[in-house]
Amino acid sequence: MKQLGLDDSSFVKQPKKTRKAQFLSEMDRVVPWSRLIALIEPHYPKPGKGRRPIALDTMLRIHFMQQWFAYSDPAMEEAL
């Protein structure tokens, strides 16, 4: 019988999924992102003169994360 070494596949450690990561993957599955984006898109700023707006889906996810995790704007910036 062959002795197992640290490089064998049985010893390869799978990264542990944190509660936050589990919560976010669950929210990706549950929240109807496409419907929310379609609802907000007509009212969202269009690119034109000046700075280009951040993508709507990104802003929407940032807003939801701020609500779920009670992040302030600077804390959310750091979390990104």
Whole-structure pTM value: 0.68
Q: How does pLDDT run across 1-59, given as a tens digit for each residue?
A: 666 666 666 656 677 888 888 988 898 899 999 999 999 999 998 888 888 889 999 99
Q: Which pairs with CB-CB distance under 8 Å and at least 24 residues apart come from 64-67?
A: 64/27, 64/31, 65/24
CA atoms within 13 A on the CB side of 19: 2
Please report, to the nearest 10 degrees, the dihedral formed by the alpha carbons of residues 49, 51, 57, 61 taken in order.
Answer: -150
